[in-house]
Chain A
Amino acid sequence: MISLVHYLIVSILLFCIGVAGFLCRRNALVLFMSVELMLNAANLAFITFARFQGNPSGSVIAFFVMVVAAAEVAVGLAILVLVFKNRSSVDVNEISLMKG
């Protein structure tokens, strides 16, 4: 039978793949996708704990996480389009104007 640990391990691996992508890739679009992966890993953990405690509140929290992800992507991609207009690149190494 599938236990809590199985699902949590999938969630952990998904999260860590997201972290690796965020730290390795320099394309801002891929960075956003890595953030989506991490948010999904968190969602999976929420739903897993909800299932194994018989508490449906986890579904509601996962729903909120999805809404926050949607808002983040909308604003983030709008900013990215503006950055591309100004600098014609989405490489985060080249968007370092405010670096000290």
Chain B
Amino acid sequence: MQLFFFYLFSLITLSGAVLVVAHPNTLSSAMSLIVSLFGVACLFVLLAAPFVATMQLLLYAGAIMVLFIFVIMLLNPSTNRLVKRLSFGGLLGILISSYLAVILVLRVVSFNKPEEVAISSDYGSLREVGQLLFSTYLVPFEVTSLLLLVAIIGAVVLGRQSLPGGRS
């Protein structure tokens, strides 16, 4: 049963990802990205990490993808030109990435397969992650909040109508 769900979610994730890359329409790419991220969230649930799965859905589907779709609607770039044929560079890109995939998969398959370790029922819950976040990883957590502040300031400065001292 678990194996079935694993293959189902993997299929959702990977087909969504392929559509993101291959679809000529940007908005459809964004929709496929949502599907792919949802599949990843389901895989997180299978891996006993419900907190991260929830954050994945909230952060990506709720925040990042809304931003993406908003910008796509704002710019509407897909109507500008038809999609060009695959260039030499694009072909090279596909070759490089498939070579990378083959190397990595061959390396990983040669691992000796470790068994799933027994985990407590508390594993991956909000309580356990929160305790780690505010004890062991307190400093990175605070740095993260600083990073978000800097990103907000950067986005606001960039998004202003006129740059100070520059062209409008």
Residues of chain A touching chain B, judged by Cβ–Cβ distance below 8 Å, are 1-10, 12-27, 29-30, 32-34, 36-37, 40, 43-44, 47-48, 50-54, 56-60, 62-64, 66-75, 77-82, 84, 88-91
Contacts and interface: CB of A to CB of B under 8 A. Distances in A.
Nearest to B93: A23
B64 A56 contact: no
Contacts of B111: 4-5, 8
A52 B158 contact: no
Interface in B95-121: 96-98, 100-101, 104-105, 108-109, 111, 113-114, 116-119
Given A9-B105, A56-B128, A71-B148, A17 B59 contact: no
Q: Which of A26, A30, A52 has the most CB of B within 10 A?
A: A30
Contact of B51 (A59, A74, A90): A59
Nearest to A53: B117
Given A5-B108, A24-B90, A52 B116 contact: yes
A43 to B, nearest CB: 7
Nearest to A72: B151
Contacts of B105: 9, 12-13
A15 B13 CA distance: 11
Given A12-B105, A89-B77, A40 B37 contact: yes
9 contacts: A23-B96, A24-B21, A29-B68, A40-B36, A51-B47, A51-B49, A56-B132, A68-B147, A77-B67
In the complex, the 7 A-B pairs of residues with the closest C-beta atoms, listed nearest first: A23-B93, A21-B21, A71-B151, A16-B101, A78-B158, A20-B97, A24-B90
Contacts of B108: 5, 8-9, 12
A20 B21 contact: yes
Contacts of B124: 51, 56, 59
A63 B154 contact: no
Contacts of B60: 36, 66
Contacts of B113: 3-5
Nearest to B27: A29
A58 B133 CA distance: 11
Contacts of A26: 84
B104 A12 contact: yes
